[in-house]
Amino acid sequence: MTTRNYRRQDCPIAFALSIVGDQWTILLIRDVLSGTNRFDDLQKRLGISRNLLTRRLKQLVADGILIKRQLPNSRRHAYWPTPKCTALRPSILALAEWGQSWRGDAGGTRVEITETDSGRAVGVRFCRLDDGQEVSPARITVKRISG
C-alpha cells in the first residue's frame, strides 16, 4: 500500500497515516468504534467490496488496531477495537467537527459529543496538559444525530 511509504519520512503524522491513511480505513475504524463489529454489517455500511474489506481488516489486525475474535456458539468472527484504536477517537472526532463546520449545509447527520455525567457539550480542542481540565475519553458520549 502506498501509505506504507510514508514511514520513510521521520514524522509522527506520516507514521499515523501509514496505518490509518489508506482509503476507507478511517471510516472502517469509525464504524467499529460505534459498535459495528461483524464483517457483513461493516460491508453493508461501507458499501465496499468484500475483497477490499478483507484486506483492510487483515491489515488493521496486523497493526494492532483491531482484534478478531470468534463469536460464541458460532463459526463467525467479529472485530473489536484495541486501546490503540480507541486512542484514535480525538483525531476522528476532530475531523467530524471540521466536516460539520465546513460542509456548508445546515442539514445532514451531525456528531454530538457530551460529557457523559453532566451532559455538557464537549469538543476536541487545544487544552493545557497541566491544569486537569480535559475530559477523560472514558467519560464522553458520542451521538450521531440525523439532520
- Residues at the interface with a second copy (CB under 8 A): 2-3, 6, 8-17, 20-21, 23, 26-27, 30, 47, 84, 87-88, 90-92, 94-103, 108-111, 113, 115, 120-131, 133-137, 140, 144, 146-147
Closest-CA residue to 4 (of 65, 59, 66, 74)? 59
Q: How far is the CB of 45 from a second copy (least distance, A)?
A: 9
Q: How far is the CB of 78 from a second copy (least distance, A)?
A: 22
DSSP assignment, residue 73?
T
Are residues 56 and 27 in contact, defined by beta-carbon separation less than 8 angstroms?
no
Are residues 57 and 37 in contact, defined by beta-carbon separation less than 8 angstroms?
no
Determine the 3-state secondary structure of 99 from DSSP: helix
How far is 48 from 141, CA to CA, in rounded Å? 28
Closest-CA residue to 123 (of 147, 146, 89)? 89
Q: Which is nearer to a second copy, 35 or 130 (CB)?
A: 130
Q: Which is nearer to a second copy, 70 or 137 (CB)?
A: 137
Q: How far is the CB of 43 from a second copy (least distance, A)?
A: 14
Q: How far is the CB of 59 from a second copy (least distance, A)?
A: 15
Q: Which is nearer to a second copy, 47 or 72 (CB)?
A: 47
